[in-house]
Amino acid sequence: MNQIFKIFFAGIILGTILIFMLPNAQEPLEPTHSVNPTTFEIVPVYTFRVVNTYPHDRNAFTQGLVYENDTLYEGTGLYGHSKLFKVDLETGDVVQIHELPPQFFGEGITIFGNKIIQLTWQSNTGFVYDISNFELLREFTYSTEGWGITHDGERLIISDGTSTLHFLDTENFEEIGQIEVFDSNGPVTSLNELEYVQGEIYANVWQTDYIARISPQTGQVLGWIDLKGLLSADEFSEPVDVLNGIAYDEKNNRLFVTGKLWPRIFEIELISTD
């Protein structure tokens, strides 16, 4: 009996230790998938060449970036500072602005037809604006957190900080499907800002220097874009946050990237490392 009790109490102690070792569910979501280029054995890895640079507001906490009809649109975050901008790419001048109510933390944006759609972080609320004057046309709700948003011409695609991408109907905003994003290491989490580029979903992986190129049919990562070194050492003299912001100029086949509080927007050309 003494031996049985020893085993029983040892099990209790071990269980207690494991409980205290579990992460606090209330902690901010952090990446659980390590992006390591040495593991990219079955998909291509791309680096970059800077084609051009453009000024970017260092106070802009970039959450969404879209290029449409020769115009840049940007959505920013933080409570009390979230905005929607129309920006002159060449000069960085703000042409038009809409401020969100202070209780909303702005997130990703996309343009569908003549409307701008903007997500918010934890409020389960999205906004639809008239692209010409930023008039608020309607609000809608969704069940997840809002991070990034884009579309494939038929469906809205949103990220929620996990490995799941959700597809929403463009009219009623109801969820009509989802995919799990994965590579050879398993699920790829912390998917953030999104852009649809030539049949693929590009996704910033939060707190990394990588963009995942994702199949919208299967969720498989088709390639990785390594943007380490995009900012120079001098540009870290003032506070900067993570890489976040992808915009694609479909007409001229130009790709733009930036980050939260970054001083510049970069037009880049992808270079295969193969």
Could you tell me the CATH number of the domain that includes residue 192?
Answer: 2.120.10.30
Instruction: Kindly state whether residue 234 falls inside one of the protein's structural domains.
Output: yes
Size (the chain), residues: 274
Q: Whose CA is closest to 84, among 130, 146, 147? A: 130
Alpha-carbon gap, residue 244 to 148, rounded angstroms: 10
Instruction: Kindly state whether residue 266 falls inside one of the protein's structural domains.
Output: yes
Question: What pLDDT, on the 0 to 100 scale, is given for residue 258?
Answer: 96
In tens digits, the chain (274 residues) has pLDDT values of 444 333 333 443 333 333 333 333 323 344 444 455 545 457 899 999 999 999 999 999 999 999 999 999 999 999 999 999 999 999 999 999 999 999 999 999 999 999 999 999 999 999 999 999 999 999 999 999 999 999 999 999 999 999 999 999 999 999 999 999 999 889 999 999 999 999 999 999 999 999 999 999 999 999 999 999 998 878 777 788 999 999 999 999 999 999 999 999 999 999 988 7
Domain of 72 in residue numbering reads as 42-272
Instruction: Kindly state whether residue 28 falls inside one of the protein's structural domains.
Output: no
Instruction: Kindly state whether residue 100 falls inside one of the protein's structural domains.
Output: yes
Burial class (CB in 10 A: 0-12, 13-18, 19+), 99: middle
Instruction: Kindly state whether residue 169 falls inside one of the protein's structural domains.
Output: yes
Please report which helix (H) or strand (E) contains residue 191, including its range: strand 191-197
Instruction: Kindly state whether residue 20 falls inside one of the protein's structural domains.
Output: no
Q: Whose CA is closest to 207, among 244, 232, 160? A: 244
Question: What pLDDT, on the 0 to 100 scale, is given for residue 236?
Answer: 77
Instruction: Kindly state whether residue 202 falls inside one of the protein's structural domains.
Output: yes
Instruction: Kindly state whether residue 16 falls inside one of the protein's structural domains.
Output: no
Question: What pLDDT, on the 0 to 100 scale, is given for residue 60?
Answer: 94
Question: What pLDDT, on the 0 to 100 scale, is given for residue 43?
Answer: 86
Q: How many domains does the chain have?
A: 1
Q: Whose CA is closest to 59, among 76, 42, 47? A: 76
